[in-house]
Amino acid sequence: MTDLFWPGDERAGELMSDAYLLQAMVRVEAAWLSALVDAGLVPASDDVDLTALVTADDVEAIALGAESGGNPVIPLVKLLRSRVGEDAAAWLHRGLTSQDVLDTALVLTMRHVLDRLLDELRAQVTTLSVLAEQHATTPMVGRTLTQHAVPTTFGAIAASWLDGIVDAAESVVDARGQLPVQLGGAVGTLAATTELAGLRDLTDAPSVAAEVVAITSEALGLRTRRPWHTSRGPLTRTADALVACTDAWGHMATDVATLSRTEIGELAEPAVDGRGGSSTMPHKRNPVLSVLIRRAALAAPGLGSSMHLASAMAGDQRPDGAWHVEWATLRTLARRTVVAASQTTELLEGLRVDTERMRATLDHSADDVLAERRGVADLLDAKHDDDPTTYLGFSGDLVVDAVARARTFLEENA
């Protein structure tokens, strides 16, 4: 996929594409039908692979048919029933509601998104750990409110980036581990499935209905959970994890963009032929990766907010519009986050650190950046050292602690 409105969109590949979602919906229908058979609720029909009956060529027809019912599940079920035998058609989708299928399909597609993000995050944590250790004693000017403050090290700055990315990675792991199925029927009570079990004279019909949910969950590799038609925590939690990622990357990209300014020149993005050029100023090499990462960080919170607003407006037992706004919002947020993840990994792996420029800037401002040190010494009527590289506080400990935490994360999430 490509998108002229979002340069770099192709980095997300087919994640959350129409065809991707369509196949996920078919998987849900197939898993549920198989579970009904396994639980003894419906007769086994001739083996039919539902996933082979629908392809990307069917996307347009299903999309066009979605408006009449307000969602794409209705035309999908109609299409599937037209392509299977009468026995399978009679039992296909029985006991489900459209929201069950689409919510669970969204969860399946988001699982692939989170897996991709974890791959990128692990690579970033590894790269940043090395960078922080390499520059644990590389002195530079610390800046607050855009002005020179006191000395620090580039290792300490990298450690700060590292902590933010590990925070985000932990939220992704948490969201990934809690992805649930949505299987509740019309109002979340599994009434049709329970009724079917009763008509089959099966003992403890509600337990049989619960068993169908468990079988389906296991087949799809998702957590079993009570229906969440209007309790949208699973999706808002996931959206929050995505925003946490762009927050962390945006912080880092902001620093890189600032420190790569011509008049500062302490950092530089990886050099790639053709990247960073200007249409009118051939001398420029713009920090394009940082710019695009910041773009994602600026856009993501609004999309996350839309997910929370939809959650708050999810009324009754099935939402009237609030649910519908989630799909495209989540797709946009997910794809943009994956794109930013890829760009961040590339930025970190090729980041150029000019230690000589850092030291020169520090030496030039030594008198100013040691003002705090002189103030402390004056309080005790003591002498002070004029070497800015000896006023680094416990910056070394910051690096050690951040890297140790990062290694623990990598070991636990290998």
pLDDT in tens, 118-151: 999 999 999 999 999 999 999 999 999 999 999 9
Report the CATH number at residue 189. Answer: 1.20.200.10
Give the total number of structural domains in the chain.
1
Q: Is residue 3 part of a domain?
A: no
In the set 207, 231, 278, 305, the catalytic residue is: 278
List of residues 6+ apart from 96 with CB closer than 8 A: 29, 32, 183, 185
Which runs of consecutive H residues, i.e. helices, occur in 84-190?
86-91, 98-134, 154-177
Q: Is residue 310 part of a domain?
A: yes
Q: Is residue 376 part of a domain?
A: yes
How far is the C-alpha of 158 from the C-alpha of 349, rounded, in Å? 13
Q: Where are the beta strands (DSSP E) in 192-348?
A: 267-268
Single-letter code of the amino acid located at 317: Q
In the set 318, 357, 359, 365, the catalytic residue is: 318
Q: Is residue 109 part of a domain?
A: yes
How far is the C-alpha of 139 from the C-alpha of 353, rounded, in Å? 12
Q: Is residue 1 part of a domain?
A: no
Print the domain residue range for 333: 9-412
> What are the pLDDT digits (tens) for 356-390?
999 999 999 999 999 999 999 999 999 889 999 99
How far is the C-alpha of 256 from the C-alpha of 266, rounded, in Å? 9
> What are the pLDDT digits (tens) for 311-355?
999 999 999 999 999 999 999 999 999 999 999 999 999 999 999
> What are the pLDDT digits (tens) for 176-230?
999 999 999 999 999 999 999 999 999 899 999 999 999 999 999 999 999 999 9
Asked if residues 101 and 73 have their Cβ atoms less than 8 Å apart, the reply is: yes
Burial zone of 342 (CB within 10 Å; 0-12 exposed, 13-18 middle, 19+ buried): buried
129 catalytic residue (yes or no): no
Asked if residues 388 and 151 have their Cβ atoms less than 8 Å apart, the reply is: yes
How far is the C-alpha of 140 from the C-alpha of 153, rounded, in Å? 5
